[in-house]
Structures are given as structure tokens and as C-alpha cells.
């Protein structure tokens, strides 16, 4: 952990991934509301923020893949020993770009992810971060196989322009929330420590074809704001 963060100090890692960096971004609004409430409940806590659109994570390259395969073949390799497995400058660069991000995830007590739906899934900016931090064995105790993120709390502030709930025509096109739930479960995050708040039909207010759903969209956004406020006070 960073030297300026004392052991036992709560740490919030806050990520935004919406390409819309204006005030109109729903996921940025919801995420900011949670962060404010969380920080108010944890005076003296550490807060780390990254805008994945303004400061994108580089796509993983061939060196990352080669190093990851080599590490995975040895089982769960402690992070401090991965560098010794690197062969060549490319693999060294890939690991240098990866280790700080993995360390941030491991040190966070709460991870807050702003995740808009783009083309039925998550944004490319968020996917690049996911691919980078998902280094084989990074979240498993090398001694006993225990998942290191079992106690980490994850909050997803999500939004989608249309409607994807049960019974809607596009219910089967929702690869956003199922993907994120499966991903964090695979990392070892306990189910009870994952909270997802999503506002739907956010584009009903400005797309004519969705205009008849504007009231539903407004209710969904209001519900998401309320839910995020409650989470900020208790989770």
C-alpha cells in the first residue's frame, strides 16, 4: 500500500468510463454521488480516482499475453516475483504498466465503477482496464488459493439508453450487467459484496423514437439516484 495510506485505512478506488465527460453523464453523476457519501462516512479515508476516458489504460499487447501465460503455468505467482519471469523489454514494459493497476485493485476496500452500456456491453475504456488488471493469479493467495478480493466491496453505477429489463424486446441483448457480475465473481468478489445500480431508458428524453418511454426513464433515473444515495450511507 502507498506509504501515505496507513494499514487499515478504508480505500475507495473510483473509475469512470463514460466517453461523455460533461455533466450530462448519468454514470458519472451516480458514481460521484456515491463517492461523496462514502467519503463523508469515512473521514481520513484514501480516495483514488481515474477517468478511463481522459487517461485510458493501454490495450494489452503480445508481451502481456506471453508473460501471463508463463505465470499461469506456474500457478499463482506472487506479484513481487512476476517481474523475474519477464523475458525482454516488451514484457517488462507490459508488467510495469500492469502492476500499479493491479496493486490499486488489491488495496481498495471499495471499488466504484461507472459503467455505461455501449452496444449492449461495457465501454472500450472500461474493457481495456479490465483486460489489463486481470493478470493470471493476481487475486489469489499463492499460499492457500484464497481469493484476495473476497472482502472487497464493489459498486457499479450503470446506465443504458434503452430498456433491457425482463419482458422487454431487448432483454436478451443485455451483455452489460451479466458480464460485470460474472467478471467480478470470477475475480473472487463475494456475491453479497457486489451492488449494481442501473438507470434505464436514459435516452428517452432526447431520442424521438423512445419519447413514449420518457416517463419510465425519468422514474428509472430517480430510482437509481435514490438507490445510490442509500448505498452511500450504508455500503
d(CA 145, CA 18): 35
| Strand intervals (E) in 34-184 | 46-51, 110-116, 153-159
Helix (H, G, I), strand (E, B) or coil at 19: coil
Residue 213 per-residue DSSP state? G
- Please check if 228 is assigned to a binding site: no
Helix (H) or strand (E) holding 198: strand 194-199
Report helix angle 62-72 to 89-107, nearest 10: 70
d(CA 132, CA 15): 14
Q: Give the total residue count for the chain.
A: 235
- In the sheet where 153-159 sits, what is the strand order? 46-51, 11-16, 110-116, 153-159, 194-199
Cβ–Cβ under 8 Å, residues 207 and 161: yes
d(CA 49, CA 15): 6
- Please check if 119 is assigned to a binding site: yes
- Please check if 118 is assigned to a binding site: yes
- Please check if 220 is assigned to a binding site: no
- Please check if 164 is assigned to a binding site: no
Which residues are known binding-site members? 18, 117-120
Which residues are known binding-site members for FMN? 18, 117-120
Amino acid at each position: 500500500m502507498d506509504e501515505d495510506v496507513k494499514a487499515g485505512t478504508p480505500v475507495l478506488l473510483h473509475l469512470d468510463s463514460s466517453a461523455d465527460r460533461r455533466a450530462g453523464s448519468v454514470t458519472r453523476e451516480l458514481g460521484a454521488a456515491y463517492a461523496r457519501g462514502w467519503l463523508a462516512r469515512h473521514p481520513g479515508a484514501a480516495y483514488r480516482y481515474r477517468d478511463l476516458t481522459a487517461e485510458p489504460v493501454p490495450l494489452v499487447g503480445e508481451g502481456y499475453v506471453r508473460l501471463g501465460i508463463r505465470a499461469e503455468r506456474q500457478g499463482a505467482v506472487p506479484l513481487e516475483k512476476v517481474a523475474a519471469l519477464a523475458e525482454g523489454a516488451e514484457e517488462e514494459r507490459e508488467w510495469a504498466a500492469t502492476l500499479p493497476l493491479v496493486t490499486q485493485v488489491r488495496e481498495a476496500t471499495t471499488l466504484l465503477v461507472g459503467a455505461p452500456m455501449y452496444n449492449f456491453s461495457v465501454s472500450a475504456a472500461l474493457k481495456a482496464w479490465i483486460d489489463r488488471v486481470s493478470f493470471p493469479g493476481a487475486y489469489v493467495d499463492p499460499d492457500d488459493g484464497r481469493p484476495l478480493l473476497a472482502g472487497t466491496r464493489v459498486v457499479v453505477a450503470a446506465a443504458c439508453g434503452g430498456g433491457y429489463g425482463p419482458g422487454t424486446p431487448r432483454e436478451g441483448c443485455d451483455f452489460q450487467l451479466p458480464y460485470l457480475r460474472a467478471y467480478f465473481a470470477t475475480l473472487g468478489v463475494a456475491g453479497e459484496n457486489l451492488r449494481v445500480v442501473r438507470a434505464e431508458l436514459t435516452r428517452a428524453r432526447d431520442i424521438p423514437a423512445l419519447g413514449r418511454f420518457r416517463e419510465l426513464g425519468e422514474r428509472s433515473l430517480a430510482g437509481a439516484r435514490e438507490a445510490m444515495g442509500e448505498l452511500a450511507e450504508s455500503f
